[in-house]
Amino acid sequence: MSQSITAAADNILSYTVNRAGGAPGVVAMATDRSGNFYEGAAGVRELGKSEAMTTDSVMLLASCTKALVGVALMQGVEEGLVSLDDPAREFTPEIADIQVLDGFNPDGEARLRKPKSDITVEQLLLHTSGFGYDFFSEDLLRYRTANEIPSILTSTFAAVRDVLLHDPGEAWTYGCGIDWLGRICEAIRGKRLGEILAEYVFAPLEMHDSAFTLTDSMRDRLVTIHQRNPDGQLEPQPELVLPQPPEMDMGGHGLYATLGDYMKFIRMMLNDGEGSNGRVLKPETVALMAQNHLGDLKSGGWVSSQPGLTNSGEFFPGLTKSWAYTFQVNDEPAPTGRPAGQLGWAGLANSYYWIDRLSGIGGMWSSQILPFHDVASYPGFVDFESAVYRSI
């Protein structure tokens, strides 16, 4: 399998960085249950500089952080420290102050009301709590701007204390709920989220290059985020690094890591919770995490309210999609070859992964470009995943 995928994947990476308007650099990996069978890198870490992109380059994971925090929360569930049905306010009381945004008055003032029910831990996991992101919602952007709420990129608690876009449980709305979930992990363990992940997730998986605060070694290998301007040109943004150290370890988007580290997490999910240095989750917990829990609701695409951060888009348009505990589930077979009922998601700076527990394979593709769903990087990921399935 590794021989059949290598040439095809290498060509996809090369085309992605060498095509007109291509990505500055990209790393891609694929794994089965025993280990990586493809690792590749192409391009540079920063346009205009000579450092080549390498397989041990460090990326901002952005929303790929969420699944790791979901694992930490589910470990607490296994130990009886928290229940999925628990009201979140029992662990982070400030969440009880969050109100529902019910539109705006003619004078522009926001109409707020108390939610009809408490937010539960499970609703935070499923993105049904009502929390959103201002780059996916014009109304939320309007509210946050008027109330001078800091960007989530400030890595502050104030950044996630805004409003709900609907009552808890009424819809699937992708947002900052996992940041609140990280606070619940901190409450049940009595430690910062970074310490929790290091002890309970990274250590048994031997993930040595994953952290909210960059080590000197990680900083030396850090990939620069690039901004794609409306004319298609890319500009390096070397100053675009999350606060070091952060005021709050942001469970929704704050981790930096190598793809090699993230593949160890993917492999744990393929192996029913077993890590290379010990068990991370019980098999039945992994199975629970991988199931759709949305009921009649569905997850779908997104509409951009901040074109500099994200394009509008959708994964596998036309196919129904639901949500597991921190993963999107493709309810139907995907055109890449991914079978129905498997897992995947992404990070804002154009990182993408999938976990196919049925076939026993998974993979990840990462560049560092804004806006999300980049014209060069995202098609490269689709081609890469398709090549992996063709090879098997």
Residue positions annotated with a catalytic role:
63, 66, 174
Q: Could you tell me whether strands 110-113 and 210-211 are parallel, antiparallel, or unpaired per DSSP bridges?
A: unpaired
Tokens standing for 299? 């997850």
What's phi and psi for 188, nearest 5 deg? -80, -20
Number of H helices, E strands in the chain: 11, 18
DSSP string for residues in 148-214: TPPPGGG--GGGG-SEESS-TTSS---STHHHHHHHHHHHHHTS-HHHHHIIIIIHHHT--SEESS-
Other CB atoms within a 10 A radius of the CB of residue 332 amount to: 14
User: Residue 37 half-sphere exposure, CB side, CA atoms within 13 Å?
Assistant: 18
| 3 state SS of 76 | helix
Alpha-carbon span 364 to 210, nearest angstrom: 15
User: Do the Cβ atoms of 347 and 63 come closer than 8 Å?
Assistant: yes
